[in-house]
Amino acid sequence: MAGGSRAGLRLALAAVIAFYGVNGRRLTLTNDEAYDLIIDVATGHLDSAEQIARRRRSATEPRRQ
């Protein structure tokens, strides 16, 4: 994968983490699991909103205050 593409994937993951943080949630995935999720979405392996939402729901928890 080209450097620009990897940067885009890192940006996508950062956006997900920021979105959850603003909404009082935190991502609980390991680095490898987060990478796999982003790759699965980017390559079309997960291509429906419901599939993506299901994976993300199981990978978050309320943020500790």
- The pTM assigned to this predicted structure is 0.72
pLDDT tens profile 1-53: 555 577 888 898 899 899 999 999 999 999 899 889 888 988 999 989 999 88
> Please, which residues have CB within 8 angstroms of residue 40's CB and are 6 or more apart in sequence?
46, 55
pLDDT score, position 12: 86
pLDDT score, position 45: 93
Name the DSSP letter for residue 25.
E
User: Contact, 22 vs 60, CB < 8 A?
Assistant: no
Q: How confident is the model at residue 64 (pLDDT cuts 50, 70, 90)?
A: confident
